[in-house]
Amino acid sequence: MKRIRFLALLMLAVILMQCALLPISAQEDAPEASAPQGPAYHVAAKAALLIDLGSGKSIFEQNADARVYPASLTKIMTCLLALENGNLSDIVEVRESALADIGQDSSTAGLMVGERLTLENLLYCMMIVSGNEACNVIAEHIAGSVQAFVRMMNERAYELGCRDTHFVNPHGLHDENHYTTARDLSIITQAALKSENFCQICNLAEYILPETNLSPERKLRTTNMLIYKSSSNPQYYSRARGIKTGYTSAAGRCVISEAVNDDLDLLAIVMGADTSIQENGDLLMESFTECRFLFDYGFDNFAYVPILSPLYPVAQVGVSNSAGAEVVAVAPAKEIKLLLPVEYDAEAIQTVIELTDETVNAPIKAGDVLGTVRVVYNGETLDETQLLAIADVAKSELSSAASGTSAYIQKNWWKWVLIVILVIAVGAVIALWIMPRLQRKKRRRQQLEKRRQLLEERFRSYRDEL
């Protein structure tokens, strides 16, 4: 008895240990697959990152997780929070407190104390000409104070998964405790790009700011030379869309931009590039040059390669109890294209098919999930999808009944053994007890019949003698 109790306690302890370990295992996230790498490349900047927005994978990284100063790239977060928490039609008045920390050499939109603008126009002032005072005005309108808005910035960054970002102000003027990384900035920017309003605002090269109560109509011109089309601007990049520039002496030249070509939609981040003087005396902001080169690197060295299509079946599954077809073809639920280097190894691509069962029972409907398929490149799974039946398969009632009977017999074999034993037992009882009695009764009937016949003969003889 003591031994049984000991074993029971031991089993209980094992179960409790497994339950305690289960949450830890559940929290471990599978590492995200990265895109195959292209040829070696270097950006003349402190940090750089190139992401394919279609897949969300990075195709080039250079110090992407190093802490750097974002300068005015900070305004992407400020714009995101304004769009998430404000109304574009709100009328906002510029207060004196919003201009308090803005120096004379700071980039501004020329806003004045007491001036009233819509929140939408303030966003144009902030994103197009990088007006630092517009950031403070927006912050006070959204959160009541700049300090409260900065808390919102840090909370939102943490919600998005940014773990190496800390904001001190809404505009990006230098502070040693105001930092981020290229990777965190990519996360913030991708969240902002989900807003159509953000995309529209950050991609405008020029904007006519309507007159206000204190100022006549003004033309705003972008600080982003990648999207400003002019014969005197050699940095213009026809594929570029927005997004934001930044500069302080500590941060260097910074830019985030998007560019689209064919299937590729690239997000490029360049942090800490230099400023140089050209032979003709013009100022060269090398962030634009490096960003253009980085885009060209992505477009020249990567492409989407079609691997699987819902139009083409990849396997067959056997069908039991069908009224017609004995197999049904399965095809991928979605098209799978892999982002690969132009010079990729075709033999390194594998499709791994995993069927739910080799044979399934009818009826089958088109679209039923019958397995999965994974696409593997150099041993790493890059994408996967379900395998769906491409046609209906009707059920045969006769075949199903026969199959059901066979399955019932196989499942309940022990019942049939009992039946056989009972039949044998009944036969034995009949043979050992009932049959002898029946035979005795038969002999007795035969004897009685003989006696009856004998008496009839005697009676006939006696009648003849008379």
Which pLDDT does position 35 carry in this prediction?
A: 64
Q: What is the mean pLDDT of residues 112-138?
A: 98
pTM for the model = 0.77
Which pLDDT does position 410 carry in this prediction?
A: 66
Is pLDDT of 10 > 50? Answer: no
Which pLDDT does position 322 carry in this prediction?
A: 85
Residues 6+ apart with CB under 8 A from 157: 77, 165, 167, 180, 184, 188
CA distance 143 to 116: 18
CA distance 205 to 226: 9
Task: Tell me the CB-side half-sphere exposure of residue 432, using CA atoms within 13 A.
Answer: 6
Q: What is the mean pLDDT of residues 218-247?
A: 97
Query: Mean of the per-residue pLDDT values for the chain?
Result: 87
Which pLDDT does position 397 carry in this prediction?
A: 67
Query: What's the CATH architecture for 309-410?
Result: Sandwich (2.60)
User: What does the chain come to in residues?
Assistant: 466
CA distance 127 to 201: 7
Q: What is the mean pLDDT of residues 134-160?
A: 98
- pLDDT, greater one: 284 or 444: 284
**pLDDT tens, 325-347?**
899 999 999 999 999 999 999 99
Contact 113, 96 (CB under 8 A): yes
Boundaries of every domain in the chain:
47-302, 309-410
Query: What's the CATH architecture for 47-302?
Result: 3-Layer(aba) Sandwich (3.40)
Which pLDDT does position 21 carry in this prediction?
A: 40
Which pLDDT does position 398 carry in this prediction?
A: 59
Helix residue ranges per DSSP H, 62-195: 75-85, 119-128, 132-143, 146-160, 182-192
pLDDT band of 324, cuts 50, 70, 90: confident
CA distance 272 to 346: 38
Which pLDDT does position 412 carry in this prediction?
A: 66
pLDDT band of 31, cuts 50, 70, 90: very low
**pLDDT tens, 376-385?**
999 999 999 9
CA distance 220 to 375: 49
Contact 331, 368 (CB under 8 A): no
Q: What is the mean pLDDT of residues 10-16?
A: 44
**pLDDT tens, 252-293?**
999 999 999 989 999 999 999 999 998 888 889 999 999 999
Is pLDDT of 298 > 50? Answer: yes
DSSP bridge pairs for 227:
none
> What is the DSSP-derived secondary structure letter of residue 261?
E
Contact 228, 204 (CB under 8 A): no
Is pLDDT of 427 > 90? Answer: no
Here the tokens at position 376 are: 């593997």
Which pLDDT does position 403 carry in this prediction?
A: 54
- pLDDT, greater one: 41 or 35: 41
Q: What is the mean pLDDT of residues 203-215?
A: 97
- pLDDT, greater one: 413 or 243: 243
Q: Where are the beta strands (DSSP E) in 21-125?
A: 47-52, 57-62, 91-93, 116-118
**pLDDT tens, 383-416?**
999 999 999 999 886 555 545 555 555 666 666 6
